[in-house]
Amino acid sequence: MSLPDAETVAQHKTAASQWFEALRTRICAEFEAIEDSLATGPHQDMEPGRFSRKAWERPSVNGDASSGSGGGGVMATMRGRVFEKVGVNVSTVHGQFSDQFRGQIPGTEDDASFWASGVSLVAHMQNPHCPAVHMNTRMFWTPIAGWFGGGTDLNPAIEYAEDTAEFHAVLRAHCDRHAPDYYPRFKAWADEYFHVPHRNRARGVGGIFYDDLHTGDWEADFAFTQDVGRAFLPAFVPLVEKRRHTAWTEADREAQLIHRGLYAEYNLVYDRGTKFG
């Protein structure tokens, strides 16, 4: 399989990074609108939350600020009356793999260059009946290939079967636009990936997860990754709208805090992104 020329690769990188930034902007605007429209509940009198943004820069050599820029990104975080805490972050970074990771990435023996861009979010809610959620999509490039990965999964402290079904139905519809095997394959991948082995249970109620997507048709792979991003708001926001005014008890709040502990435990021990660094 022939590799695209340098100009095409540059165009692909620009298109992907601009898409991830646009998706971040759309999600932040929708979340702020949800903050504005809260009608009842113990946090009704709080000021609606607004995202604060903080830019960061990555040194081209790890830890060496004098080595030049290795790209960077923007962290957008909000604390509000519907969203207890949410982060919607974008980044575009580049550089050289360390010797440790160079040996783990095929094709980097002669050239350890990499480029990566993506959007990532985690939302934890004030109301225990509103599910927490995670979503990310990304493009990764090395001299031998450019590939996509990501997904989204729902993490309710108090599960509603109909909410789980609605979430998965939206994901299935968006996957089915691209290939009939994408949803069942990527759902199974999520079920495996978000499993907590030492507790023999899932982190949440699943979703979809995929990695190393490189079919040889960059446009098709990018289009699918865009649709994963587009699926997020229609999959998640209706569940928030349905549950955010539900009354809750101290027992509900305790269940929420325990579930957050499970979420944090998974991220610290098993998450691939944490291990990658």
pLDDT tens sequence for the chain (277 residues): 567 788 999 999 999 999 999 999 999 999 999 999 988 888 888 899 999 999 999 887 665 555 567 899 999 999 999 999 999 999 999 988 777 666 666 666 677 788 999 999 999 999 999 999 999 999 999 887 789 999 999 999 999 999 999 999 999 999 999 999 999 999 999 999 998 888 888 889 999 999 989 999 999 999 999 999 999 999 999 999 999 999 999 999 999 999 998 888 887 877 766 555 5
In angstroms, the CA 66 to CA 88 distance is 28
pLDDT at position 6 is: 86
Residue 63's pLDDT is: 56
E strands, 46-189, in order: 52-61, 64-78, 83-96, 113-125, 132-142, 145-155
- Contacts for 164 with CB less than 8 Å, ≥ 6 apart: 154, 156, 205, 206
Q: Please identify which of the residues 43, 124, 134, 259 carries the catalytic annotation.
A: 134
Q: Catalytic residue at 198?
A: no
Task: Tell me the C-alpha distance between 105 and 101, whole Å.
Answer: 7
Q: Quick one: pLDDT at residue 69? A: 79
